[in-house]
Amino acid sequence: MLNLLKLLKFNSRIWFFLGFLGCVFLLSMGAYFQFVGGLDPCPLCISQRIAILVTGLVFLSAAIHNPAQTGVTVYAILGAIAALCGGSISTRHIWIQHLPADQVPECGPGLDYVLQNFPLFETMKLMLSGTGDCAKVDWTLFGFSMPEWTLLAFLMLASLSLLQIWNYKQAN
């Protein structure tokens, strides 16, 4: 049994790389639902994808760098912050989806139009506040919407990231 536990105990570099692969999987699923399933992402969906990308880039940087304890701690905290920021976006999305119909924000112009005609700050504000498009639930699995599954993924990524601080100490 002890040998099995030693086999399952990866170093931080491998765990960060596995976290990166998880982010690649999440982005691939988003692309699949958009381009194959025909689901157009709302502004909050796009914001969540950006947060997944940032989290994945932090994980990939940590895996490539393979730092010592201080570096692992820095990467772990940065990865957790990126994942928790994404989780907060998912939480907002879930909140909008559960609003009564009369309290759902109005639909806004398309993101292409906003990017071309509004300043960057206004575009970011729109992307993070959500629109009526964000209230629509197009897909569920086991009764949970895509933002709910994404929130779970963000929480798992943040946990994986922070666990590397402990993992590094245990491996050495």
CATH number at residue 57: 1.20.1550.10
Burial label, 100 (beta-carbon count in 10 A; 0-12, 13-18, 19+)? exposed
pLDDT value of residue 49: 95
Q: Tell me the per-residue pLDDT of 120-148, one tens digit each, with 9 for 90 and over.
A: 787 787 777 776 677 777 877 898 999 99
Q: Which of the residues in the chain have pLDDT under 70?
A: 1-9, 104-111, 131-132, 168-172
* Rg, the chain, Cα only: 18
C-alpha 51/C-alpha 151 separation (Å) is: 11
Give the tokens for residue 70.
């201080």
pLDDT score recorded for residue 166: 83
Q: So what's the pLDDT on residue 124?
A: 80
Overall number of domains in the chain:
1
pLDDT at position 112 is 73
DSSP string, 2-51: HHHHHHH---HHHHHHHHHHHHHHHHHHHHHHHHTS--PPPHHHHHHHHH
Query: What is the value of pTM for the model shown?
Result: 0.82
Domain of residue 80 covers 2-171
Q: What is the pLDDT of residue 139?
A: 78
Confidence (pLDDT) at 149: 96
Instruction: Identify the pLDDT of residue 60.
Output: 97
| Residue-level pLDDT at 89 | 93
